[in-house]
Amino acid sequence: MQKRWTILPTDEAEVNLLHHSLNVNKTFCGILIQRGIHSFEKAKTFFRPSLSNLHSPWLMKDMDKAVDRLCLAFENKEPILIYGDYDVDGTTAVASVFQFLKKIHSPIDFYIPHRYREGYGISKAGIDFAHQQGFTLIVSLDCGIKSAELIAYALTLGIDFIVCDHHLPDSILPPAIAILNPKQINCNYPYKELCGCGVGFKLMMALGERLGLPNASYLEYLDLNALAIAADIVPVTGENRTLAFFGIEKVNTNPSVGMKALMQLAAVKNRMTLTSLVFTIAPRINAAGRMDDARKAVQLFIAQNEQDAIKFAEILHSDNTDRREADSSITQEALKILEADPNNALKKTTVIYQEHWHKGVVGIVASRLIETYYRPTIVLTKSGEYAAGSARSVVGFNLYEAIYACRKHLLGYGGHFAAAGMTLSTENIAAFAAAFEAEVSSTIPPELLFPELVINATIGLHEITKSLYQLICQMEPFGPDNMRPVFIARKVYNNGYSKIVKELHIRFVVIQNNTTITGIGFNLSEKFHLLESNQPIDIVFTIDENEWQGEKSLQLKVVDLRASE
């Protein structure tokens, strides 16, 4: 697939100042400046994260009200229900706060809504369950900010709510006793990008201070927080980076029994990173809600012994195997349908429907289809009497606005800039698809239909050294807004030893002036002719380390190449 190459600019004067201050590689200084690190002090904070730099939880609007209400519940022995969403962020938040509170209060229980019977967020069924079981206080995590009517209904039943959320609030806020959300108006909390589990962490932190508990009482859940940060794709900056840094450390040194069980079943051998949490652990948690009931994800994380943890981890592992099979088969079927459509190549969108597809994986399938046809994509399936599905966007295009413009064809919809869901009558699918195609075609800038490859710096192969690689490693954990640096080297040549491996990938051996280096380029075999031409090429890559027979050496992980101009 053709990509747009965008090289980020750097201010030479700022680079020189930071280079003088830090006395490290100039190219590396340019990358730091691109990430807002302009001084020695900011670099020190970035490279030496400290839990002492976490913001006071009392800076968050309503934190005093939330803690006061919980302390009142403790005094009165009120039953408390911890309520959370069915994804990774929600289940880790529930597992953390539930365990924290259970050590200091009883009675307490947790509730995860069923993805298909109740849908996202606070449900009437969940509130009715709480009422029937005698709960008078619900703490919602990773949801609730958009549930004004349902929380008002809970009040009529004598149930108070403390809402802990990180999603953008509507103009009308729910009538909760306290709302903890750094994105709400008039909240002075300095860092706005916490995930739901992160907001729950700050609540535990404040309670710990009020009750005089040791810091370990909430720090023991840092591994779950790191998993939530990884899976919810929030920026890995500021406080999130600190929480992720120490959370990853806990994953690798002293994980909870649930995390340890998942790593064991996933046959983890290397040190875990945020990226490996995203691809190894998070899918197994999400699979619980996609294929069945996410409650068991919480049961895994609150397991007190290895035997119970392994039991639940095996269930999640099995759910994930089923999810992968469904995802793969549906993706292949969808690609065949699209390939058979004579008008497919002319379209700016994909809208595809099959009534037998598993609704738990349609969002994943939409993302998979974008890997082949880079355009806004909607995958629909039968849900009861209607069609329901998930939409995914391409970078930079507001999917929600496009769906909103076509709302007359829908029964219901919701979502945000990059992803959405909708329900519609099956007889309206064709009309909706046509309207969506027309809306996107008229509003999407043509360049957004090609994936952007963001490049941090131009570099010569001779500059790729162990010291530069070690500096890059100190930038971990990598994630949104702190991605692994991407470089471009211009006018390099194949030295004759590059080759295709396993029919899909390229083993690079390239030379520039007197410097030769090896690399691997996954799924790039279609571009091997550029290496065979013996003409100069430009390559885009990250710097990696390869270990072979106990020997470590630097290598390139090539992500794209083209003929030099």
Q: For residue 65, give the CATH number of its domain.
A: 3.90.1640.30
Number of domains in the chain: 3
Residue type, 62: D
Confidence of residue 534 (pLDDT cuts 50, 70, 90): confident
Are residues 19 and 117 located together in one domain of the fold? no
pLDDT of 173 > 90? The answer is: yes
Q: Is residue 332 part of a domain?
A: no
pLDDT of 344 > 90? The answer is: yes
Q: For residue 491, give the CATH number of its domain.
A: 2.40.50.460
Indicate the residue among 449, 473, 497 that finishes a domain: 449
- pLDDT (0 to 100) of residue 292: 80
Q: Is residue 321 part of a domain?
A: no
Are residues 187 and 297 located together in one domain of the fold? yes
Are residues 416 and 500 located together in one domain of the fold? no
Range(s) of the domain holding residue 380: 341-449
What is the gyration radius of the CA atoms in the chain, in angstroms? 25
- pLDDT (0 to 100) of residue 417: 87
CB burial class (10 A; 0-12, 13-18, 19+) of residue 41?
Answer: exposed
Backbone angles phi, psi at 62, to 5 degrees: 75, 5
Residue pair 544/516 in contact by the 8 Å Cβ criterion? no
Q: Is residue 355 part of a domain?
A: yes
Which of 108-112, 187-191, 267-271, 351-355 comes out lowest in average pLDDT? 267-271
Q: Is residue 244 part of a domain?
A: yes
Q: Is residue 508 part of a domain?
A: yes
pLDDT of 431 > 90? The answer is: yes
Are residues 97 and 182 located together in one domain of the fold? yes
Indicate the residue among 395, 427, 449 that finishes a domain: 449
Percentage of the chain beyond pLDDT 70 is 100
Confidence of residue 119 (pLDDT cuts 50, 70, 90): confident
Confidence of residue 125 (pLDDT cuts 50, 70, 90): very high
Q: SS3 for 492? A: strand
pLDDT of 253 > 90? The answer is: yes
Residue of 205, 182, 202 whose CA lies nearest to 192: 182
Report how far residue 199's alpha carbon sits from residue 181's, in angstroms, rounded to the nearest whole number: 7
Backbone angles phi, psi at 249, to 5 degrees: -60, -40
Query: How many alpha carbons lie under 13 Å from residue 290 in its C-beta half-sphere?
Result: 30
Are residues 526 and 558 located together in one domain of the fold? yes
Q: Is residue 335 part of a domain?
A: no
- pLDDT (0 to 100) of residue 273: 95
Are residues 380 and 501 located together in one domain of the fold? no
pLDDT of 483 > 90? The answer is: yes
- pLDDT (0 to 100) of residue 530: 96
Confidence of residue 517 (pLDDT cuts 50, 70, 90): very high
Are residues 34 and 95 located together in one domain of the fold? no
Percentage of the chain beyond pLDDT 90 is 90
Are residues 100 and 127 located together in one domain of the fold? yes
CA trace torsion 198, 203, 205, 207 (10° rounding): -170
Q: To the nearest whole number, what is the mean pLDDT of the chain?
A: 95
What are the DSSP calls for 54-89, one per residue? SPPGGGSTTHHHHHHHHHHHHHHT--EEEEE-SSHH
Report how far residue 23's alpha carbon sits from residue 406's, in angstroms, rounded to the nearest whole number: 55
pLDDT of 301 > 80? The answer is: yes
Are residues 425 and 472 located together in one domain of the fold? no
Residue pair 503/525 in contact by the 8 Å Cβ criterion? yes
pLDDT of 197 > 90? The answer is: yes
User: CA geometry: angle at 312 spanning 308 and 316, to 5°?
Assistant: 165
Are residues 118 and 77 located together in one domain of the fold? yes
Q: SS3 for 343? A: coil
DSSP letter assigned to residue 103? T
Residue pair 519/540 in contact by the 8 Å Cβ criterion? no
User: CA geometry: angle at 413 spanning 409 and 414, to 5°?
Assistant: 150
Are residues 33 and 78 located together in one domain of the fold? no
Q: How far is CA 387 from CA 114, 313, 421, 433, 492, in A?
A: 19, 32, 11, 13, 52
- pLDDT (0 to 100) of residue 479: 94
Q: What tens digit of pLDDT does each residue of 19-34 get?
A: 999 999 999 999 999 9
Indicate the residue among 449, 472, 503 that finishes a domain: 449
pLDDT of 376 > 90? The answer is: yes
Q: Is residue 121 part of a domain?
A: yes
CA trace torsion 164, 170, 171, 175 (10° rounding): -40
Cα 555 vs. chain centroid, distance in angstroms? 27
Mean pLDDT to the nearest integer, 256-285: 93
Q: What tens digit of pLDDT does each residue of 34-53 get?
A: 999 999 999 999 999 999 99
- pLDDT (0 to 100) of residue 464: 96
- pLDDT (0 to 100) of residue 202: 98
Q: Is residue 327 part of a domain?
A: no
Are residues 30 and 92 located together in one domain of the fold? no
Residue of 294, 276, 286 whose CA lies nearest to 367: 286
- pLDDT (0 to 100) of residue 1: 80
- pLDDT (0 to 100) of residue 222: 98
